[in-house]
């Protein structure tokens, strides 16, 4: 069973619809046992890092996610869900993340008004790791909407986009994956990426 | 690089696309789902749905439209028209919209922008501004209620306030250019771009491919919205994008 963590911080319904479109019967849940017993977990999120972490903590889901990941369950964070995989964020001071991928989340610098923040729109992926199942991402556009980005060791970056600075788009560490963009809003490319995750990461 | 966005706008009344859409092979010229799917195939980067009836009863119909479209079309959807409360926003975002555009209600109650941004994130809150040049006072003024009511408010100042309040994007329509097909109001967007750093979507005046090329020379403008020229196939999105690309503008192909 594939779970989509539903913690009232994100448009989980569109992720659910995209899963249905690629033939995957996923379920929205915040139940710890169901999450831990899933064959894979999707972790969407939009909004503010701190609010979302607080909500996870209130629902007792921080340790549930950490345990689920540590037992090897394929885990995919989307947008804010991807950012929360890292150690911390500078949003509203310094907020602790899930600590599953080394690195931190920082505000995209506007360079004194020279760069538009948020990044909102379609940007072209450059493949940074040839060994990934997501090789098809090379030169493909995906849809982003975010004001913060991941700063991490290149070893975790699968693809990145050029926004005047390099922004990690797909990150990966062992069974943990993160998409900074919205696959559920990235047309056929987004559906391909979800399908690839289900067929080549989950099925492995 | 971030691609410039081409955004068709569909007017919805009673759950149907209002202005006739003139595509070949459409089974039903008023079906929002079918039309959205055609635009996705053509390479539209986002879609905007404008509820032009916007009574309480019809708002529920609008949520149904969004729900149906979002099951078939996996691209960003913005919904506007008559949104005046967090409950309105919640219903549409829950149904599958990614962003809501607020216009008159934001002028009446600027705190609504902040409340929406806090609850749903700035990325979900688009402030739509209808703008007209006022020759006597030599300034751009904000109009509300579908462009019928002059607020007397300076549009550039209002745009700055909207961003300060938490707007994640601005959808700025030039009423002077709307429907004229004489090109976008580049002066308006140049002035606006100096004052705000959020993405600006320009609307009003698109008539030919060159208009988009001119518009996108402004780095602050990242999206262009148009309705009838796409609906009536006076221009096709693939042609516009080919032309933009040939002129050095980054687009998604």
Cα dihedral value B208, B52, B47, A198, nearest 10: -170
Q: Does residue B253 lie within any of the structural domains?
A: no
pLDDT of residue B39: 95
Mean pLDDT value across residues A87-96: 89
pLDDT at B26: 64
**Burial tier of B239 (Cβ tally within 10 Å: 0-12, 13-18, 19+):** exposed
Residue B252 located in a structural domain = no
Nearest chain B residue to A126 by CA distance is B1
Domain ranges of chain A: 2-202
pLDDT digits (tens, 9 = 90+) for B60-83: 789 999 999 999 999 999 999 999
**Residue A146 annotated in active site:** no
Query: Average pLDDT, stretch A94-100?
Result: 95
pLDDT tens by residue, A32-84: 999 999 999 999 988 889 889 999 999 999 999 999 999 999 999 999 999 99
Q: Of A19-23, A153-157, B53-57, which range is least confident?
A: B53-57
SS3 B69: helix
Residue A9 pLDDT > 80, yes or no?
A: no
CB contact under 8 A, B197 and A124: no
Token digits of residue B57: 């009863």
> pLDDT-based confidence at A114, cuts 50/70/90?
confident
Residue B53 is assigned to a structural domain of this protein: yes
Beta-carbon count within 10 A of A17 CB: 19
Tokens, residue B173: 């329509």
B171 in A contact zone (CB under 8 Å): no
Residue B251 lies in a domain: no
CB < 8 Å from B in window 104-143 of A: 110, 113, 115-124, 141, 143
Residue A67: active-site member: no
Alpha-carbon span A102 to A176, nearest angstrom: 12
The verdict on B45 touching A (C-beta cutoff 8 Å) is yes
Contact B252 A117 (CB under 8 A): no
What's the CA gap between A72 and B203, in Å, rounded? 49
Given B11, B88, B98, B211, which residue is catalytic? B11
Residue ranges of chain B whose pLDDT lies below 70: 19-28, 54-58
Of A72 and A93, more confident: A72
Question: Complex ipTM, two decimals?
Answer: 0.92
Question: How many structural domains comprise chain B?
Answer: 1
Which residues of chain B lie closer than 8 angstroms to A122, CB-CB?
2-3, 5, 45, 252
CA B196 vs CA A110, A141, B39: distances in Å? 11, 26, 30
Residue B245, H or E segment: helix B237-246
Mean pLDDT on A101-111: 95
Mean pLDDT of A13-39: 96
Which of A141, A143, A188 lies at the smallest CB-CB distance from B76?
A143
> Which structural domain range is residue B75 located in?
5-246
B64 tagged catalytic: no
Q: What is the pLDDT of residue A10?
A: 67
Q: What's the rounded Cα separation, in Å, for the pair B209 and B227?
A: 14
HSE at residue A63, side-chain half, CA atoms within 13 A, is 3
**Quick one: pLDDT at residue B22?**
62
State how far Cα A25 lies from the chain centre. 20
Class assignment of domain A2-202? alpha beta
Please judge whether B123 and A143 are an interchain contact, meaning their C-beta atoms are less than 8 angstroms apart.
Answer: no
Q: Which residue in A19, A79, A91, A152 is the catalytic one?
A: A79
């Amino acid at each position: 069973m594939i779970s989509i963590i539903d913690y009232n911080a994100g448009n989980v319904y569109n992720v659910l619809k995209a899963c249905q479109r690629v033939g995957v019967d996923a379920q929205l849940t915040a139940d710890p046992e169901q999450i831990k017993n899933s064959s894979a977990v999707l972790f969407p999120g939009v909004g503010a890092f701190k609010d979302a972490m607080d909500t996870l903590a209130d629902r007792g889901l921080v340790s549930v996610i950490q345990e689920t990941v540590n037992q090897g369950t394929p885990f995919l964070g989307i947008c804010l869900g991807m950012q929360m995989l890292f150690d911390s964020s500078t949003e509203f001071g310094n907020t602790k993340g899930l600590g599953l991928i080394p690195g931190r989340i920082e505000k995209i610098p506007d360079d004194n008004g020279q760069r538009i923040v948020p990044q909102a729109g379609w940007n072209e992926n450059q493949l940074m790791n040839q060994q990934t199942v997501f090789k098809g991402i090379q030169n493909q556009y995906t849809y982003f909407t975010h004001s913060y980005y991941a700063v991490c060791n290149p070893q975790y970056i699968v693809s990145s986009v050029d926004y005047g600075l390099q922004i990690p788009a797909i990150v990966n560490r062992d069974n943990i994956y993160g998409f900074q963009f919205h696959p559920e809003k990235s047309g056929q490319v987004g559906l391909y990426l979800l399908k690839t995750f289900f067929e080549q990461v989950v099925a492995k | 690089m971030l691609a410039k966005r081409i955004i068709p706008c569909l007017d919805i009344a009673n759950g149907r696309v209002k202005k006739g859409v003139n595509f070949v092979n459409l089974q039903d010229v008023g079906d929002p789902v079918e039309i959205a799917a055609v635009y996705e195939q053509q390479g539209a980067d986002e879609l905007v749905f404008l509820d032009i009836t916007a009574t309480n009863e019809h708002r529920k119909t609008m949520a149904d439209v969004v729900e149906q479209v979002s099951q078939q079309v996996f691209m960003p959807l913005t919904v506007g028209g008559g949104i005046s409360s967090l409950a309105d926003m919640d219903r549409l975002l829950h149904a599958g919209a990614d962003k809501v555009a607020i216009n008159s209600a934001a002028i009446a109650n600027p705190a609504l922008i902040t409340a929406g941004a806090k609850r749903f994130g700035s990325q979900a809150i688009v402030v739509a501004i209808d703008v007209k040049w006022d020759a006597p006072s030599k300034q751009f003024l904000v109009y509300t209620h579908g462009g019928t009511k002059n607020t007397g408010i300076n549009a550039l100042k209002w745009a700055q306030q909207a961003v300060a309040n938490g707007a994640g994007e601005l959808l700025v329509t030039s009423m002077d250019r709307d429907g004229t097909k004489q090109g976008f109001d580049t002066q308006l967007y140049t002035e606006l771009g100096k004052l705000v750093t959020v993405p600006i979507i320009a609307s009003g005046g698109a008539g030919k491919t060159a208009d988009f090329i001119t518009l996108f020379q402004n780095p602050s403008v990242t999206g262009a919205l148009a309705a009838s020229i796409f609906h009536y196939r006076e221009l096709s999105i693939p042609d516009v994008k080919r032309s933009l690309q040939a002129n050095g503008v980054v687009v998604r192909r």
